[in-house]
């Protein structure tokens, strides 16, 4: 049994990619995308015809609407290759706009519906800002399920649980990146491996909080840098993994054991409570890593959304 097969015994495997032709190789249950992954796929020659077809068919619409159609086209192709759900992301420029995020989420779902897609298979991805979480709360109240991304801290996870969101995507690799960069030459890779990895510790803490308090929100570890981080979170509800690391897991026969379980000790459980906007912002501000990585992630996704719109304009004007 290879490591990918072993991991499936404890965790639902999700593919983190816009390259939908790779999905049959790894047979994930679900798939996730983000603006960076969609942009990366569109720049691949094999997906250029799909991109051009969508843009040409939508001529006359705004660039913003065409970009939504491109995202939905990739989501539809993904859903044809997996049994479960796809996550499609709201424009990062709406990360601090609750009403705008709600409007955009409904527009995305309407485009899926127009393509004959069962929208119960679509999760709307939103940044884990206060505004994004409140948008998710409103959407969940209407039966529209959400995936809260760019999540780096327990206060973000607690606010998401308060909002009863369907799923959260706590990032592992970006947390690891921050602490490694912060430590500089003093970083000891071996000492920070496995369960001691700062990103793994963050997800483990959230997992303990959720499971001990009966929170139904699904936890999907994301943003991995190596297979060691993935194996250290075996037992998490879901893990979304890049094709490169899926291939490494598939090629390895090494053992994988459950690392996270539903049984946790009281001493290991962080307190769970209702969190106000003021407390959320204060707690997030106290965490330099989470504050910096959240802002950085929004900037990166915004830049990629703008790059996609430029490609659309180039196509329209050619």
pLDDT tens figures, 118-142: 999 999 999 999 999 999 999 999 9
When pLDDT is averaged across residues 90-117 and rounded to a whole number, the result is 98
- Phi-psi map region of 214: left, alpha, beta (phi>0 left; psi -120 to 50 alpha): left
| pLDDT over threshold 50, residue 103 | yes
* Residues 13/28, Cβ–Cβ less than 8 Å: yes
CA–CA separation, 44 and 105 (whole Å): 27
The pLDDT score that the predictor gives to residue 265 is: 47
Domains along the sequence of the chain with CATH: 3-317 (3.20.20.70)
Q: State the greatest distance between any 2 C-alpha atoms of the chain, in Å, as a whole number.
A: 63
pLDDT bucket at 271, cuts 50 / 70 / 90: confident
Residue 160's Cβ-count burial label (10 Å; 0-12, 13-18, 19+) is: buried
Q: Write down the catalytic residue from 104, 125, 137, 293.
A: 125
Q: What is the pLDDT of residues 179-225, one digit of tens each?
A: 999 999 999 999 999 999 999 999 999 999 999 999 999 999 999 99
Three-state SS at 207: helix
Q: What is the pLDDT of residues 22-51, one digit of tens each?
A: 899 999 999 999 889 989 999 999 999 999
| pLDDT over threshold 60, residue 263 | no
The pLDDT score that the predictor gives to residue 262 is: 53
The answer to whether residue 137 is catalytic is no
């Amino acid at each position: 049994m290879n490591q990918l097969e072993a991991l499936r015994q404890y965790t639902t495997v999700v593919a983190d990619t816009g390259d939908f032709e790779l999905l049959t190789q790894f047979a994930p249950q679900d798939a996730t995308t983000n603006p960076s992954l969609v942009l990366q796929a569109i720049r691949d020659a094999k997906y250029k015809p799909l991109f051009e077809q969508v843009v040409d068919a939508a001529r006359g619409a705004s660039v913003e609407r065409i970009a939504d159609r491109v995202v939905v086209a990739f989501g539809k192709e993904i859903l044809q290759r997996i049994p479960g759900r796809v996550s499609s992301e709201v424009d990062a420029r709406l990360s601090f706009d609750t009403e705008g995020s709600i409007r955009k989420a409904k527009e995305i779902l309407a485009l899926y519906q127009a393509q004959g897609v069962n929208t119960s298979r679509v999760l709307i991805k939103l940044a884990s800002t206060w505004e994004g979480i409140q948008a998710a709360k409103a959407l969940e109240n209407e039966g529209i399920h959400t995936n809260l991304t760019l999540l780096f801290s327990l206060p973000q996870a607690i606010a998401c649980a308060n909002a009863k969101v369907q799923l959260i995507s706590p990032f592992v690799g970006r947390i690891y990146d921050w602490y490694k960069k912060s430590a500089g030459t003093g970083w000891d890779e071996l000492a920070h491996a496995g369960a001691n990895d700062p990103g793994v510790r963050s997800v483990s803490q959230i997992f303990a909080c959720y499971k001990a308090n009966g929170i139904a929100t699904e936890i999907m570890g994301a943003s991995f840098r190596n297979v060691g981080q993935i194996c250290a979170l075996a037992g998490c509800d879901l893990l979304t993994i890049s094709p490169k690391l899926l291939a490494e897991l598939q090629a390895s026969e090494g053992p994988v054991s459950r690392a996270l379980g539903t049984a946790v000790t009281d001493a290991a459980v962080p307190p769970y409570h209702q969190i106000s906007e003021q407390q959320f912002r204060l707690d997030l501000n106290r965490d330099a890593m989470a504050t910096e990585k959240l802002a950085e992630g929004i900037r990166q996704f915004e830049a990629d959304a703008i790059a996609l719109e430029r490609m659309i304009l180039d196509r329209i004007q050619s």
